[in-house]
Structure 1
């Protein structure tokens, strides 16, 4: 029996397969196309709702300028920071589009810096508001007072200065760079010309001073406030203030924590690579997509905050509706019910507080002007 196997035909089979290096899978193309459409749409929705809400808020504050309060000062600065971020959203939407090939370094630096300034201002201003509430409940100390309005203005000025200092790395390292893979220009941090590991230093500055330290402060203040409210009654005015402050803090964290966690993951992964691999400062693959998606979520708080004011602050809601009906409303009550700058009330029963609220008279005057 002949057991020889002829392999000649197998090895003489010499078909060649050529793979195009520029071949792009259909799934990748569809993913990029859907991302290029979805994210600009989300930015557009945030822009419209955010400008309408914050514009309405500024209009209400302009009507109330004769009876300015400490709470109005903090709300104004929060709204200004949100409007600055909203103005840059068209730029981010254009950059996300697949065929956006023109992008200037100056616009990149401004947009990247304003993005981080909004985050720093938002969390630091919430720290100021929460500290005032904490000191008032825990120690009976009024950090801000209507008799000393300058302290509130100085605090807001320090918040803006701190935010500008924390964004110095963005002014230095953010540049517009052409991405050959996607054939479009993107705003990235370029550390290739820097001396030393500036990328890690700037990230640690953001994580420690811009995120972790204010977050720990907010958690401690809010936790203590909740515990004190469960143990004893501090009056209906103080309880209403907590019911406004806590949702503002929770919504801020829900919007910004995913982005910061993703950024921390990117920092850890980049620090474990060789220096030449991460000097460009641009994340790759799924991490880049996650940063893009979570940054959209972070910007979403700019249009959620005015909606929170409308749902939580009854006086602001009534004044807004009156303004839309072309009527003027003047009231001695606080619009925001944050309790910032208001004298702390002594402990008393709910019945006595309710009686005081029922017997108090708000000077409300409504006159048709249209």
Structure 2
């Protein structure tokens, strides 16, 4: 009996297989869940954000005769939020299985608007928190109601800086066909001769866009808290600090996860090149993390009006009066941010000064007798 075994057929086919693009059943289920949950989340944020910011603009329009510096900053923040909300339907469509189907022009616009909202939000909050801290220092204030020109210059400078920082998005964002996923994606693509701009643009975003402004916000808020604990400030200044601090905290909570994930993706990024064009291609886990954290950042556009309703009593009263079609002639600050507003005299402090002055006069009269 012949016991020989022919193994030539077993080892002859030694082809190698690439499993990098292989997707398991769990991946299909996860992508299906993302394709439903993220569009629903964007839709809810769009409805709440449009209602909240629309109501905010209506209140500002009703108050246009008594415009304050705080109103100017709130208006610019609301405009930035409305721009971001206008892009949510496109991103909701991209989150589905169809991918990006709106062309390269809208891809560039949507990416630029996303970063403009973030830059505008963090830079304007730096201006507001810095003015709040300086107002706690005696005889020091950044903005003044008597000279509102500096506030307008600050807001215009913020918008100009945002547009400059988003130039890389307008240039390198394109609608790229990913053959591995069989769909078109809105990603950054660079030619081989301009590949170094990828690192330069990321460096500018991480340093000028996030790390330095976030450090400034944390330092200002820490100084405000220390100042409030050590000194007995007026009630108006304390209210302003109690409005500014939650606004900064919520902003950082919404946007910091995305920026940390983006920093990790910068150091671990992998690129995919075709025809002398290199497109960003992060790992599968980083892609999911960027989707979730960017959605969290977009939600902040609908949270800001809710924060105003919860923190600013005058804004709440004016809103209820407008909904009831009643007239509210109050000229007090709606936002209680204290930006550009002179602190009102503290009645308790005035009473103590008057008491001390009368006691001194009584002592002088008694000594003369």
TM range, smaller chain: 0.7 to 0.9
Correspondence list, 1:147-226, <5 A: 147-226=146-225
2:351 matches 1:344: no
Taking the aligned partners of 1:145 and 1:331, their CA distance within structure 2 comes to: 21
Query: Is contact 1:109–1:175 with CA below 8 Å preserved after alignment?
Result: yes
Correspondence list, 1:280-291, <5 A: 280-291=279-290
For structure 2, the residue ranges without an aligned partner over 5 or more in a row are 353-369
Taking the aligned partners of 1:306 and 1:137, their CA distance within structure 2 comes to: 26
Correspondence list, 1:232-251, <5 A: 232-251=231-250
TM-superposed CA distance for 1:8, in Å, is 4.8
For structure 1, the residue ranges without an aligned partner over 5 or more in a row are 1-5, 354-370
Taking the aligned partners of 2:8 and 2:163, their CA distance within structure 1 comes to: 70
Taking the aligned partners of 1:96 and 1:64, their CA distance within structure 2 comes to: 40
Q: 1:7 to 1:159 in 2, by over 3 A?
A: farther
Taking the aligned partners of 1:181 and 1:13, their CA distance within structure 2 comes to: 32
Structure 1 residue runs of 4 or more that deviate by more than 3 Å after TM superposition: 6-24, 273-279, 344-353
Taking the aligned partners of 1:27 and 1:215, their CA distance within structure 2 comes to: 37
Q: What secondary structure sits across from 2:65 in the alignment?
A: helix
| Aligned equivalent of 2:52 | 53
| Aligned equivalent of 2:365 | none
How well do the aligned residues superpose, as a CA RMSD in angstroms? Answer: 2.7
| Aligned equivalent of 1:332 | 331
Query: Is contact 2:271–2:280 with CA below 8 Å preserved after alignment?
Result: no
| Aligned equivalent of 2:79 | 80
TM-superposed CA distance for 1:233, in Å, is 1.2
Taking the aligned partners of 2:140 and 2:239, their CA distance within structure 1 comes to: 19
Taking the aligned partners of 2:350 and 2:28, their CA distance within structure 1 comes to: 65
| Aligned equivalent of 2:318 | 319
TM-superposed CA distance for 1:103, in Å, is 2.6
TM-score by length of 1: 0.87
Query: Is contact 2:100–2:186 with CA below 8 Å preserved after alignment?
Result: no
Taking the aligned partners of 1:87 and 1:104, their CA distance within structure 2 comes to: 17
TM-score by length of 2: 0.87
Which segment drifts farther, 320-329 or 152-161?
320-329
Q: What secondary structure sits across from 1:191 in the alignment?
A: strand
TM-superposed CA distance for 1:136, in Å, is 1.5
TM-superposed CA distance for 1:348, in Å, is 7.3
| Aligned equivalent of 1:365 | none
Q: What secondary structure sits across from 1:91 in the alignment?
A: helix
Query: Is contact 1:78–1:121 with CA below 8 Å preserved after alignment?
Result: yes
TM-superposed CA distance for 1:138, in Å, is 2.8
Q: 1:352 to 1:224 in 2, by over 3 A?
A: farther
Q: 1:352 to 1:337 in 2, by over 3 A?
A: farther
Q: 1:23 to 1:81 in 2, by over 3 A?
A: closer
Taking the aligned partners of 2:280 and 2:71, their CA distance within structure 1 comes to: 40
TM-superposed CA distance for 1:99, in Å, is 2.1
Aligned length: 346
Taking the aligned partners of 1:149 and 1:328, their CA distance within structure 2 comes to: 27
Taking the aligned partners of 2:273 and 2:229, their CA distance within structure 1 comes to: 55
Taking the aligned partners of 1:33 and 1:7, their CA distance within structure 2 comes to: 54
TM-superposed CA distance for 1:281, in Å, is 1.9
Taking the aligned partners of 2:213 and 2:22, their CA distance within structure 1 comes to: 47
Taking the aligned partners of 1:41 and 1:174, their CA distance within structure 2 comes to: 25
Taking the aligned partners of 1:170 and 1:112, their CA distance within structure 2 comes to: 6
Taking the aligned partners of 1:217 and 1:275, their CA distance within structure 2 comes to: 37
Taking the aligned partners of 2:103 and 2:272, their CA distance within structure 1 comes to: 27
Q: 1:178 to 1:67 in 2, by over 3 A?
A: same
Taking the aligned partners of 1:235 and 1:334, their CA distance within structure 2 comes to: 16
Query: Is contact 2:235–2:346 with CA below 8 Å preserved after alignment?
Result: no
TM-superposed CA distance for 1:134, in Å, is 1.3
2:119 matches 1:120: yes
Q: 1:141 to 1:36 in 2, by over 3 A?
A: same
Taking the aligned partners of 1:267 and 1:332, their CA distance within structure 2 comes to: 49
| Aligned equivalent of 2:139 | 140
Correspondence list, 1:245-260, <5 A: 245-260=244-259
